[in-house]
Amino acid sequence: MQFSHIPFSKTGSFSKIFLDYIDREPKLVTFYKYPPVLDSFRQAIKDISSQKFNRKLLVDVITEQYSKSNCQLPIANCQLLLQENTFTVCTGHQLCLFTGQLYFIYKIISTINLSEQLNKKYPENNFVPVFWMASEDHDFDEVNHINLFGKKVEWKNKKGGVVGKYSNKGLGDLIAELKTVLGDSKTASELVELFQNAYTKHADFSSATRYMVNELFGQYGLVVLDPDDARLKREFAEVIKDDLLNSSAHKLVGKSIADLERVNHKVQVNPRDINIFYLLDNQRERIVKANESFNVQNTEIKFSKAELIKEIELHPERFSPNVVLRPLYQQKILPNLAYVGGPAEVSYWLEYKEMFDHYAINFPVLIPRNFVMIIDASVSEKLTKFGLNSEDVFLPINELTAKYIKSISDEKISLESEKENLTKLYKDISQKASLVDATIASSVDADLQKHLKEIDNLEKKMLRTFKQKNETAVNQIEKIKNKLFPNDVLQERYDNFIPFYLKHGKSFIEMLKADLNPMDFRFTIFAEK
């Protein structure tokens, strides 16, 4: 693989607020605490040291979760988490079937690499990469499929509720179907074995995802955490209570949104009056206030204020934070210095700083994840053939084809200069012939017209051939664009890692880890030789 980089601004794929954050535009500095540079972590370490964490509880929960999933516990990093000079670097994501889209992989690698860079820069401290499983998400349709070789591979399950508690029943049949598609190569067998061990030997989707992530990244010390735990939520109970009773997040985030809009930035997430769901078997429903009652939507469940407080104290596991409070929950239970996320995540985190200040919970350094496009050898060869480069592929298709057509100048098929030269030659011949006999000169002119007509016919033939070849090239360029931007989205937001693992095996992950730099805020292109 050869790799190159493209500035985010030249891809046409990122929001203005994200680009402004990367460029550290002055109008955004009040919406975050630390600039996204390694030197920021020195101050972040000092600031977070004043916040108290229940480290023993955190390690106990992680250890228990790994044990139930029959996973190899990253013992060294878990032991480090007990120490006051150990901090985490975190990313989070939904639980996606077979890891979902490629950027799932890139987020985790970015997080691991950032923790390693911090360990080198600040050797007096320890930094542990953490994958926060968004196991309480309930949008099953977003995570129940992958796109593979142009087809949708889908897990159909009507269970409902949070995805982490979905039974894996039926996934064995889906893996069997997948096996027929993947073939019988060594790498295909490795993948099938990984999926079988993950989904058929674990009861729920959360345990299966932990196992699979651990198999792919455990060797790098990654710690996987499922926040859906009563003990951890008890640590967050006061914030849950405050949101339900006082709507503090709605007020604070609402103010930040108004401030962002004043500097011409669009809102990514809108807070609700109450940002807490209630969890039931097969259900995750919003809690809404109606007069003096707190109602769970789509159920008959109602609480008075006193009953609600008692329910939080007795069953904190039944309360689930939404996208507004989830970052606060993460920073409450993890000694976390940085959150590694995509453009949408960075954008909505910028809405939350005032909320963090209100609760005296430290706001992390926001680090964009790595963004990657992989161009296979055949596509690389065609781009070279058409005089295009990896930066060109980000152009809209009409601009991309126009650039190619412009590069093939009409001068390459025009014979005007040749006709001019021939006319000049015949003029000289005609002048000499007229000195001998005027009638000969007229025959010379007739001969010129004959040859000019033949050249015109040849030029037309060349033009027809050019147009045919040009049409073929345009069609090929369109196919390249569709391959790298399936369904008009970035490759990393559509394709799964399976095709790349089939081709490269474990070295696919190793290559990404070796070459991706989380502090290089540019789009990375990997092109096969």
Domain ranges of the chain: 2-140+206-236+322-369+496-527, 378-488
Q: Using N-to-C axis directions, what is the helix angle for 248-262 and 237-246, rounded to 10°?
A: 80
**Model pLDDT for residues 264-278, shown as the tens digit of each residue:** 888 889 999 999 999
pLDDT class of 412 with cuts at 50, 70, 90: low
Between CA 240 and CA 361, with CA 55 as vertex, the angle to 5 degrees is 45
**Model pLDDT for residues 477-510, shown as the tens digit of each residue:** 999 999 999 999 999 999 999 999 999 999 999 9
Give the residue ranges of DSSP H helices in 23-92. Answer: 40-48, 55-68, 75-80
Q: With 70 as the cut, is the pLDDT of residue 208 above it?
A: yes
SS3 content of the chain, % helix, strand, coil (to 5): 55, 15, 30
Q: What is the model's pLDDT at position 410?
A: 58
In angstroms, the CA 163 to CA 207 distance is 11
Strand, helix or coil for residue 159: coil
Q: What is the model's pLDDT at position 409?
A: 60
Q: What is the model's pLDDT at position 438?
A: 75
Span 378-392, mean pLDDT? 91
Q: What is the model's pLDDT at position 309?
A: 97
